[in-house]
Amino acid sequence: MRNGQQTPMKVGLFIPCYVDQFYPQLGIATYQLLEKLGVRADFPRQQTCCGQPMANTGCEQDAKPVYRHFARTFAGYDYVVAPSGSCVYHVRKHYDVVEQTPEVQRVRQSTYDLFDFITSVLGVTELPGRFPHKVGLHLSCHGQRGLHQANESEMTPVRDGQLSRLLRSVDGLALTELNRNDECCGFGGTFCITEEAVSARMGQDRVQDHLQNGTEVLTGGDMSCLMHLEGIVRRRQLPMRVLHAAEIFNAALAQPSKPVSTFVPGAVVAL
Partner 1 sequence: MNHPQRAAVFTSDAERTTWHDETLWFVRQKRDKAVYAIPEFQQLRQLASDIKEHTLSRLDEYLEQFERNAQANGVQVHWAADAAEHNRIVLGIMRGVGATSLVKSKSMLTEECHLNPFLVQNGIAVVDTDLGERIVQLREEAPSHLVLPAIHLKKEDVGETFHLHLGTPKGEKDPQALTEAARLHLREKFLVGQVAITGVNFAIAETGAVVVCTNEGNADLGVNLAQVHIACMGLEKLIPRTADLGVFTRLLARSATGQPVTTYTSHFAKPAPGRQIHIVIVDNGRTRQLGRPDFRASLKCIRCGACMNTCPVYRRSGGHSYDFTVPGPIGAILSPNIDLHQHSSLPFASTLCGSCTDVCPVKIDIHTQLYKWRQLIAQANELPAAKKWGMKLLSSVLARPGVYRFGGKVAREGLRLLPHGLTHATAFNPWAKARELPEAPKQSFREWFEQQSSIPTGQA
Q: For residues 166 and 232, which CB has a smaller minimum distance to partner 1 in the complex?
A: 232
Least Å distance between CB 169 and partner 1? 27
- C-alpha closest to that of 52 among 60, 44, 41, 43: 60
Can you list the positions of beta strands (E) in the chain?
11-13, 79-82, 111-113, 134-138, 174-175, 217-220, 241-242
Distance CA 190, CA 28 (A): 26
Q: For residues 90 and 173, which CB has a smaller minimum distance to partner 1 in the complex?
A: 90
Least Å distance between CB 258 and partner 1? 27
Q: For residues 215 and 224, which CB has a smaller minimum distance to partner 1 in the complex?
A: 224
Contact 16, 26 (CB under 8 A): no
* DSSP track, 67-124: HHHHHHHTTT-SEEEES-HHHHHHHHHHGGGS---HHHHHHHHHEEEHHHIIIIIS--
Q: For residues 173 and 222, which CB has a smaller minimum distance to partner 1 in the complex?
A: 222
Least Å distance between CB 60 and partner 1? 5
Q: For residues 155 and 259, which CB has a smaller minimum distance to partner 1 in the complex?
A: 155
Least Å distance between CB 257 and partner 1? 26
CA dihedral angle for residue 244, residue 250, residue 251, residue 253, rounded to 10 degrees = 140
DSSP 61: H
Least Å distance between CB 172 and partner 1? 28
